[in-house]
Amino acid sequence: MSQEYSVSEVAQNNGHDGKPVWIIIKESVYDMTEFIKEHPGGDDSILEYAGKDATKAFNEVGHSTDAIKQMKSYKIGVVRPEYTKVHNRQPTSAANGLSEKQQQQPECGQSEKKRIKFFFCF
């Protein structure tokens, strides 16, 4: 089983005062301390998200499949399930500027109860 970290534990590892540089991408926690020196996108782009959720930024760059494979080497664990539950299948949205309303919006056709919303989705 993967090591679990709370969001506040991750936040403490923000690269300040010689601390490691951890980031969250999807529900996974990555230790970027060594990798920032060799990251082709520069250290700044990662340091900006040290201790935070970088999912949106990571996706927006459109990283190659090689980059995605490379991520495995830096994964140290996952974010505690409470985080995933609270953010309702969008565990990484909190630090990415989505409003509460956006975070709560269900995807279309997810469940029986939400089927009624189907019509509003198209």
Q: Which stretch binds ligand HEM (CB under 6 A): 5-13, 36-44, 93-101, 112-120?
A: 36-44
Beta-carbon neighbour count of residue 10 at 10 Å?
23
Strands (E) located in the chain: 4-5, 22-25, 28-31, 75-79
Chain residue at closest Cβ approach to ligand HEM: 41
What is the distance between the alpha carbons of residues 86 and 74, in angstroms, rounded to a whole number? 26
For ligand HEM, which is the closer residue by CB, 76 or 117?
76
Is there a contact between 83 and 6 (Cβ–Cβ < 8 Å)? Answer: yes
Binding flags for ligand HEM, 43-82, as an x/- string (CB under 6 A):
--xx--x----x--xx--x-xx-xx--xx--x--------
Is there a contact between 22 and 10 (Cβ–Cβ < 8 Å)? Answer: yes
Residues that bind ligand HEM (CB under 6 A): 23, 30, 39-41, 45-46, 49, 54, 57-58, 61, 63-64, 66-67, 70-71, 74
